[in-house]
Amino acid sequence: MPRVILAGGGTGGHSYPMLAIADALVQAGLPAHNIRLVGSSRGEDRRILSDSPFRVSLWPGRGIRRSASLGAIFANARALVGITGAFALGVVTALTWRPSVVVSVGGYASLPMSIGAVITRRPLILVELDAATGLAHRLVLPFATKRCTAFEDADPRAIVTGAPVRQELVENVLGEPIGEVPLPTLTPPVADSQTVILAMTGSLGARSVNDAVAELARLWRDRRDVVLIQVTGRRDFVRIKEQTESAALDYRIVEFADMTILWPLADVAICRAGATTVAELGVVGVPAILVPLPNSPSNHQVENARAVAAVGAGIVIDDSLVSGASLAASLEPLLQSDRRTEMASAMKSLGRPHAAHDIATVVLEVATL
């Protein structure tokens, strides 16, 4: 029976896809004790991975800060010390556990195990969640056996599988596994004639986008044809809530939300362009106004946004230009059902609801060669 190591993390954007692939491997018949997850002892990995049924290894290390400040230099020196120890653990783990294949989902936490696979000549599969290849994967790219990509790629080793999304979202959208999954409704309910605009920028939130959406609410204060839902994230909730004025607009502000429930209820999204967000929008088929995170590693959010816009599924606004007025101008055409339907269809064409299963199939094929 093959053994599989899944490596990555440092953020939920890597840990959740790693778990989704591990779950798909179990569904394909691989015992849970034959799967090992390797992540970072920092960040969200401990919270996300520790309760899983799989073997979990959390190693030292942190991401490199892209700054020339004195604080960044000292932080990067500490990061290099930690990641050096993690490199040794990667080699030792590959030698002692002898995985049939190592799968990297990216992020700084993936690199030590990927290097361990290369040194010990274990097959290495790279799961590319973004349109741009991150630094951790660029360093080991020549040694990869296969690449599972979210977008089209000319590399003959690349297989377009899409990026894994949470099974709960697939269930809400497709009614899978067998058995109907009732789709929740908003409370209070939304009229059929109203368009639901959903703004979400992550668990922490994004100040620039949150401020622009709050300004949009003021510009639209007299509208009754839209419902504006803003998921602010932790940092901005109180501040945005305090700015709210009484108006005719149905404007709902929440700090957190289960997006597997909310995405299927949205007609249009306002969001960043992270891999998981783009993948989830594709599965649901929600056209989007994308405001990529500036200076993201490898500029991956800009590349993701461009890939979405290229098929006509989204409109891109630079973070420096986002405002209530720019959002209103971009959204106005999408309030017309014909244009929105066209963009929703284009977004749906990017959706890969079975990405985790397809990646698991590739992994098991390589593992049994």
Average pLDDT of span 327-342: 93
Question: What is residue 180's predicted lDDT score, i.e. its pLDDT?
Answer: 37
Encoding tokens for residue 27? Answer: 């569904």
Query: What are the φ/ψ torsions at residue 226 (nearest 5 degrees)?
Result: -130, 155
C-alpha to C-alpha distance for 28 and 30, rounded to whole angstroms: 6
pLDDT tens figures, 108-159: 889 999 999 999 999 999 999 999 999 899 999 999 999 999 999 999 999 9
pLDDT tens figures, 255-276: 988 888 889 999 999 999 999 9
Question: What is residue 70's predicted lDDT score, i.e. its pLDDT?
Answer: 58
Of 210, 6, 206, nearest to 113 (Cα)? 6
Question: What is residue 123's predicted lDDT score, i.e. its pLDDT?
Answer: 98
**Any bridge partners for residue 270, and if so which?**
199, 289
User: What domains can be seen in the chain, in order of their start residue?
Assistant: 4-165+353-367 (3.40.50.2000), 195-349 (3.40.50.2000)
Average pLDDT of span 103-108: 92
pLDDT tens figures, 163-217: 999 888 888 887 644 333 344 467 778 888 899 999 998 877 899 999 999 999 9
Non-local CB neighbours of 279 within 8 Å, separated by 6+ positions: 129, 150, 162, 163, 164, 165, 351, 352, 355
C-alpha to C-alpha distance for 260 and 184, rounded to whole angstroms: 10
Q: Answer whether 363's CB lies under 8 Å from 28's CB.
A: no
Query: What are the φ/ψ torsions at residue 90 (nearest 5 degrees)?
Result: -65, -45
